[in-house]
C-alpha cells in the first residue's frame, strides 16, 4: 500500500475527507447552530432535491415556486424517491409519510416566517434571483442566512440584491442532490463568519462533505468541470468521432463521457450561463471553446439536452440513449482520428490545469479541498487523488512540458500558469513543497525577476516583496504574486511559520499610484475588496504564525500588511506613515480596525489624521509593533522568533490564532464557549497525545500537525 495510487486515495478520501466531514474549517467564534425550518425557492430538480435531503434529516421545508402546480411537482419528486425506499424495504410507509409531511409546497412567501435558512434554486438569471431574494428577505427573520444554489454566478454580485450581504452565501449542491456527497460553500466579498459557520453546520446536518471556496465566476467545481465538457465539444467540432470522445472520457476514469454529461446538465443551461456571463462581463468576456457548438445546438438545431429528448444523444421513449446520427453531418469526421491516449490526456490535463489556476488566483483555500472537490464534486478519477495530486504524481516538470506541447497543438488554453512554471523549475509539489533553500516563484510580472521571493530556512518560509526600485509598492502583479505565494506556503506541510518582509530599503510604500492611478471610485473599491483584500485575508486566516519583518518604510496599505501579521519586528531606523488624510481618502486594508485593536480609539484617530511619520521608538511605545531591533538584524530576528513558534503544536496554534483574532468581538461567555468547543479537536489530535507523552517522559515533544 505504498504506491502513488494508494497514497493518493488514502490522503484524499480518508484523511482529507475525514477532516472536511468534521467541519475543520468552521470559524471558531460562532456558536453551533441547527436548521429546524428551511425555505427552498424553486421546486425544479435542484430545489426538489434539496427539499428531500433536508426533510430526511427532520427539517421543516417550505418549498416555494411561482405556481402551485410547480411546487407540488417538486414535492412529488420526494414522494417518488420515498416510494422506492418503501418498495425496497429501506423505510416503512409511516416513515415515508412523515418525511413528506415535513415538505410544504406553496407560492406564499409569508410561510418563510421563522426560517433559519433560505436556499434559492431558481433559474441562472440574475434578475430572477434578485426578485426572489427581495421577496424572501421581506419575510424571514434578521437572524436567517440566505444562500444561493447558483452553479456559476458570482455570489458577490448576487448579494447586491440583498439588504444584508453579511448573511448572504453560496451553497452549491450537485445533481442529483440525494446522491452527490459534496456541497461547495462559496464565500462572497461581504460574507461574514456567522454565515460561513451556519452554512457548514447545515451541511453537517445533511451528513454531506463540504468544501469552502472564495468567490469567482463558476467558483471552483463548475469552472473546472466546464473545461471537461467544453473540451469534448471542441473535439467534436474538430471532426473527432463522438464515440471515440465518449470512450476517452470513460477510459480516463471519468464517470460519464463529456457529450453525455453535457446533455444531462442541459445544453440550454450552458447556453444561458454563457449568455449571462457575456452580459455581465462585456468586453472582458472570453468566449469558451465550446460556444460555437452549444450555440448551434440550442439556436439552430433546437436540441437542448436530455430533458428535451434531444441533444448530442437521442433519447427514444422506453429505449437506451444513442448518439445522434446527425452529428456526422454537422461535424464531418477526420479521415485520420487521433489516438485515444491523446484524447484522454487532453481531457484530464485541461481540468487539472484549471484547478492550478483556481489555486493561484485564491479561489481555492487549500490543496486538500481542491482534490476532494474534484473527486466528489464532478467525478475526477479517484485513483489520481484529485486534480492537484494528479499534477504532483506526474511531476510538475513533466506536466508543464506536456502542457506546452498541448498548447502548441490545440491552443492557448493549455498554456501552463506562472505558478506551474515555478514549480517545474523548483521541483516543489503541491503537497510537500520539496524544494529547499532559496527559490523564486515566477508568478506574475513581465520581467525575469520574481515579484515575490520564497526562501526556506528550515521550517520557516520567508516571503520577500521584490519591487525595490518602487519601494515595494503594490501593483496588481505584486498583489497576485503575494496571494499565490501565501497559498503555496500555507499548503506546504513542511512550513510551520512564515516571515513577510520587503527587498531593499522599504517594507512597502503602499499602493503604486503611478502604475495604478485612482481614476474610478468603483474600480478602487473592487481593487481594495477583491485584490488587496484577498492577500490580507489570506494572512489573517492562515493557521500558521506570520511575522512581519519591517526593514524600512511602511506606508499606506503597506502598514495594513504589516499589522495584519501576528507579530511585527521593526528596524530601529524604520518608520510607519499613514498619509490618507493628506490625500483626502480614508484608511484601507482593514487598517482602522487593526489600529484600533492595537492602540485604542484615541491614538488610532491621532495616527490616521496626522499623517506624520511614526518612528520606531513611538511604534514600540504605542504597541504598534512587538519588537525593535538593529536594522541589520530585522529579518534574522524575525526568523529566529518564527523558528521558536515552529515548536508549538500546529493544530492548537491554528485554533489559538482563530480565538485571539475573534476575542475582541466576542463577550466573555461567548469566548468560554468558543474555547470549550475548540478543545475537542485539539484533544482528538495526535499532537495532544504526543504532548502528554512528552510531558510524562520529560522530553521535548515532536508535534506532527495532525
172 annotated active-site? yes
Q: What pLDDT does 526 receive? A: 66
Confidence of residue 581 (pLDDT cuts 50, 70, 90): low
Confidence of residue 443 (pLDDT cuts 50, 70, 90): very low
List, in order, residues 6 or more apart from 446 with CB less than 8 Å away. Answer: none
As a whole number, mean pLDDT of residues 524-536 equals: 71
Neighbours of 89 (CB within 10 A): 7
Q: What pLDDT does 664 receive? A: 66
Q: What pLDDT does 518 receive? A: 56
Q: What pLDDT does 515 receive? A: 63
Of the given ranges (307-321, 439-453, 535-549), which has the lowest mean pLDDT? 439-453
Confidence of residue 524 (pLDDT cuts 50, 70, 90): low
Compute φ and ψ for 355, nearest 5 degrees. Answer: -65, -45
Choosing from 172, 296, 368, 601, the catalytic residue is 172
Buried b (16+ CB within 10 A) or exposed e, 507-545: bbbbbbeeebeeeeeeebeebbebbbbbbbbbbebbebb
DSSP 699: S
Q: Above 80 in pLDDT, residue 321? A: yes
Of the given ranges (186-195, 454-463, 508-517, 581-590), which has the lowest mean pLDDT? 581-590
Convert the pLDDT of each residue in 389-441 to its tens digit.
Answer: 999 999 999 999 999 999 999 999 999 998 899 889 878 888 753 222 223 33
Higher pLDDT, 613 or 508: 508
Q: On the CB side of 150, how many CA atoms lie within 13 Å of its CA?
A: 34
Q: What pLDDT does 442 receive? A: 28
As a whole number, mean pLDDT of residues 12-35 equals: 88
As a whole number, mean pLDDT of residues 683-695 equals: 74
Calpha distance 648→691 (Å, rounded): 10
As a whole number, mean pLDDT of residues 567-574 equals: 90
As a whole number, mean pLDDT of residues 367-377 equals: 94
Buried b (16+ CB within 10 A) or exposed e, 119-157: bbbbebbbeebbebbebbbebbeeebbbbbbbbbbbbbb
Q: What pLDDT does 433 receive? A: 38
Calpha distance 389→63 (Å, rounded): 40
DSSP 182: E
List, in order, residues 6 or more apart from 5 with CB less than 8 Å away. Answer: 383, 385
Q: What pLDDT does 511 receive? A: 80
Q: What pLDDT does 582 receive? A: 66
Confidence of residue 621 (pLDDT cuts 50, 70, 90): confident
Calpha distance 4→349 (Å, rounded): 18
Q: Above 50 in pLDDT, residue 448? A: no
Cell of 26: 468552521
Q: Specify the pTM.
A: 0.63
Of the given ranges (38-52, 85-99, 303-317, 675-689), which has the lowest mean pLDDT? 675-689
Confidence of residue 449 (pLDDT cuts 50, 70, 90): very low
Q: Could you identify the residue written with the cell 475527507?
A: 17
Cell of 490: 500555507
Convert the pLDDT of each residue in 624-673 to its tens digit.
Answer: 888 998 888 888 889 888 888 887 777 666 667 666 766 666 667 777 77
Instruction: Identify the three-state secondary structure at position 453.
Output: strand
Convert the pLDDT of each residue in 468-498 to its tens digit.
Answer: 878 888 887 788 788 888 888 887 777 888 9
As a whole number, mean pLDDT of residues 549-573 equals: 88
Q: Above 50 in pLDDT, residue 293? A: yes
Instruction: Identify the three-state secondary structure at position 461.
Output: strand
Q: What pLDDT does 589 receive? A: 65
Q: What pLDDT does 439 receive? A: 31
Q: What pLDDT does 450 receive? A: 62
Question: What is the enclosing helix (H) or strand (E) of 399?
Answer: helix 396-410
Q: On the CB side of 597, how many CA atoms lie within 13 Å of its CA?
A: 17
Q: Above 90 in pLDDT, residue 706? A: no
Q: Above 90 in pLDDT, residue 27? A: no
Of the given ranges (228-232, 269-273, 441-445), which has the lowest mean pLDDT? 441-445
CB 68 within 8 A of CB 89: no
Calpha distance 559→556 (Å, rounded): 6
As a whole number, mean pLDDT of residues 527-545 equals: 78
Calpha distance 349→598 (Å, rounded): 48
As a whole number, mean pLDDT of residues 578-600 equals: 71
Of the given ranges (360-374, 531-545, 668-682), which has the lowest mean pLDDT? 668-682
Amino acid at each position: 500500500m505504498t504506491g502513488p495510487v494508494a497514497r493518493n486515495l488514502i490522503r484524499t478520501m480518508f484523511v482529507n475527507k475525514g477532516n472536511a466531514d468534521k467541519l475543520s474549517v468552521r470559524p471558531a467564534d460562532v456558536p453551533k447552530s441547527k436548521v429546524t425550518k428551511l425555505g427552498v425557492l424553486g421546486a425544479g430538480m435542484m430545489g426538489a432535491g434539496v427539499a428531500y435531503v433536508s426533510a430526511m434529516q427532520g427539517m421543516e421545508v417550505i418549498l416555494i415556486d411561482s405556481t402551485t402546480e410547480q411546487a407540488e411537482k417538486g414535492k412529488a419528486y420526494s414522494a417518488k424517491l420515498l416510494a422506492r425506499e418503501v418498495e425496497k424495504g429501506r423505510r416503512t410507509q409511516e416513515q415515508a409519510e412523515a418525511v413528506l409531511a415535513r415538505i410544504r409546497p406553496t407560492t406564499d412567501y409569508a410561510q418563510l416566517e421563522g426560517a433559519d435558512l433560505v436556499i434559492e434554486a431558481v433559474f441562472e438569471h440574475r434578475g430572477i434571483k434578485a426578485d426572489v431574494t427581495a421577496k424572501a428577505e421581506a419575510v424571514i427573520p434578521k437572524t436567517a442566512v440566505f444562500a444561493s444554489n447558483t452553479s456559476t454566478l458570482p455570489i458577490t454580485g448576487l448579494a447586491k440584491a440583498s439588504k444584508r450581504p453579511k448573511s448572504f452565501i453560496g451553497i452549491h449542491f450537485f445533481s442529483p442532490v440525494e446522491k452527490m456527497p459534496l456541497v461547495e460553500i462559496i464565500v462572497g466579498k461581504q460574507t461574514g463568519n456567522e454565515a460561513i459557520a451556519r452554512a457548514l453546520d447545515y451541511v453537517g446536518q445533511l451528513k454531506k462533505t463540504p468544501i469552502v471556496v472564495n468567490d469567482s465566476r463558476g467558483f471552483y467545481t463548475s469552472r473546472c468541470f466546464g473545461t471537461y465538457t467544453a473540451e469534448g465539444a471542441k473535439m467534436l467540432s474538430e471532426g473527432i468521432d463522438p464515440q471515440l470522445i465518449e470512450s476517452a472520457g470513460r477510459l480516463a476514469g471519468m464517470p460519464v463521457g463529456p457529450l453525455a454529461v453535457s446533455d444531462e446538465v442541459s445544453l440550454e443551461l450552458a447556453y444561458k450561463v454563457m449568455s449571462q456571463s457575456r452580459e455581465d462581463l462585456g468586453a472582458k468576456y472570453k468566449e469558451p471553446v465550446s460556444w460555437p457548438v452549444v450555440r448551434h445546438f440550442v439556436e439552430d438545431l433546437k436540441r437542448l439536452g436530455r430533458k428535451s429528448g434531444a441533444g448530442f444523444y437521442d433519447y427514444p421513449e422506453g429505449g437506451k440513449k444513442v448518439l445522434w446520427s446527425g452529428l456526422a453531418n454537422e461535424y464531418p469526421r477526420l479521415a485520420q482520428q487521433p489516438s485515444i491516449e491523446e484524447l484522454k490526456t487532453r481531457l484530464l490535463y485541461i481540468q487539472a490545469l484549471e484547478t492550478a489556476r483556481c489555486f493561484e488566483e485564491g479561489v481555492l483555500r487549500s490543496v486538500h479541498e481542491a482534490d476532494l472537490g474534484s473527486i466528489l464534486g464532478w467525478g475526477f478519477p479517484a485513483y489520481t487523488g484529485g486534480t492537484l495530486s494528479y499534477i504532483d504524481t506526474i511531476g510538475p516538470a513533466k506536466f508543464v512540458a506536456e502542457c506546452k506541447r498541448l498548447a502548441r497543438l490545440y491552443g492557448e488554453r493549455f498554456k501552463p500558469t506562472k505558478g506551474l512554471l515555478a514549480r517545474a523549475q523548483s521541483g516543489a509539489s503541491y503537497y510537500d513543497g520539496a524544494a529547499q533553500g532559496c527559490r523564486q516563484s515566477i508568478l506574475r510580472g513581465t520581467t525575469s525577476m520574481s515579484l515575490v521571493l520564497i526562501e526556506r530556512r528550515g521550517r520557516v518560509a520567508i516571503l520577500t516583496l521584490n519591487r525595490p526600485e518602487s519601494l515595494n509598492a503594490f501593483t496588481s502583479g505584486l498583489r497576485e504574486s503575494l496571494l499565490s505565494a501565501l497559498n503555496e506556503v500555507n499548503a506546504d506541510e513542511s512550513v510551520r511559520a512564515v516571515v513577510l518582509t520587503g527587498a531593499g530599503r522599504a517594507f512597502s510604500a503602499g499602493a503604486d499610484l503611478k502604475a495604478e492611478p485612482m481614476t474610478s471610485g468603483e474600480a478602487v473599491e473592487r481593487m481594495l475588496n477583491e485584490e488587496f483584500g484577498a492577500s490580507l485575508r489570506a494572512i489573517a486566516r492562515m493557521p500558521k504564525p506570520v511575522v512581519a519583518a519591517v526593514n524600512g518604510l511602511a506606508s499606506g496599505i503597506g502598514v495594513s500588511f504589516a499589522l495584519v501579521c501576528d507579530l511585527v519586528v521593526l528596524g530601529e531606523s524604520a518608520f510607519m506613515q499613514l498619509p490618507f488624510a493628506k490625500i483626502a481618502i480614508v484608511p484601507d486594508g482593514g487598517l482602522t480596525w487593526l489600529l484600533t485593536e492595537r492602540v485604542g480609539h484615541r491614538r488610532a484617530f491621532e495616527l490616521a489624521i496626522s499623517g506624520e511619520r511614526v518612528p520606531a521608538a513611538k511604534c514600540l511605545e504605542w504597541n504598534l509593533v512587538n519588537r525593535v531591533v538593529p536594522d541589520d538584524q530585522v529579518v534574522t530576528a524575525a526568523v529566529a522568533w518564527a523558528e521558536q513558534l515552529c515548536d508549538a503544536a500546529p493544530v492548537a496554534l491554528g485554533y489559538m490564532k482563530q480565538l485571539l483574532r475573534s476575542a475582541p468581538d466576542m463577550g466573555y461567555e461567548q469566548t468560554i464557549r468558543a474555547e470549550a468547543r475548540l478543545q475537542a479537536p485539539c484533544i482528538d489530535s495526535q499532537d495532544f497525545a504526543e504532548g502528554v507523552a512528552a510531558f510524562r517522559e520529560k522530553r521535548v515533544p515532536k508535534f506532527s500537525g495532525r
